[in-house]
Amino acid sequence: MDYEFPSASKGFEGALYFSRGGERYVLGLCEGNHCTDSKKGKEPGFGMAVLTQLGEDSDGNCVWKTVKELKVPKSAFFQDYADISLHDDGDSWHGSAANDHPIFPWH
């Protein structure tokens, strides 16, 4: 994966794999807000997810390339994130996230 975290102690807390239009993706939910640790990572309401797509590097090796960083809606006012889920109803995608402190879901 080519995504670089700003901190060595934080990473994806939840991730899911899906395919769309013949392409393969992984959506990773960052554990800390702003995808980092320290005081900034504990600032509620700044959750992030990273969308990656399976591709090839210049040598033909498989690599997950970052497509986009996505902001989790501020209504998921969490200090720390635990997991993510998606549901495709045919017209659009709906997401849910869970946190660690205190434990309650957002959707």
Q: Identify which of 31, 71, 11 has the alpha carbon closest to the alpha carbon of residue 1.
A: 11
Show me where the domains of the chain are located: 12-102
Sheet holding 105-106, edge to edge: 81-88, 93-99, 105-106
Phi, psi of 64 (to 5 degrees): -90, 115
Please, which residues have CB within 8 angstroms of residue 104's CB and are 6 or more apart in sequence?
Answer: 98
pLDDT recorded at residue 35: 86
Q: Strand pairing partners for 19?
A: 24
Instruction: For residues 20-35, give the mean pLDDT.
Output: 91
At 55-79, the pLDDT tens digits run 999 999 999 999 999 998 888 888 8
pLDDT recorded at residue 9: 64
Instruction: For residues 70-94, give the mean pLDDT.
Output: 81
Q: Point out the least confidently predicted range of 14-28, 40-54, 78-92.
A: 78-92
Q: HSE (CB half, 13 Å, CA atoms) of 70? A: 14
Res. 104 pLDDT band, cuts 50 70 90: low
**Average pLDDT, rounded, for the chain:** 84
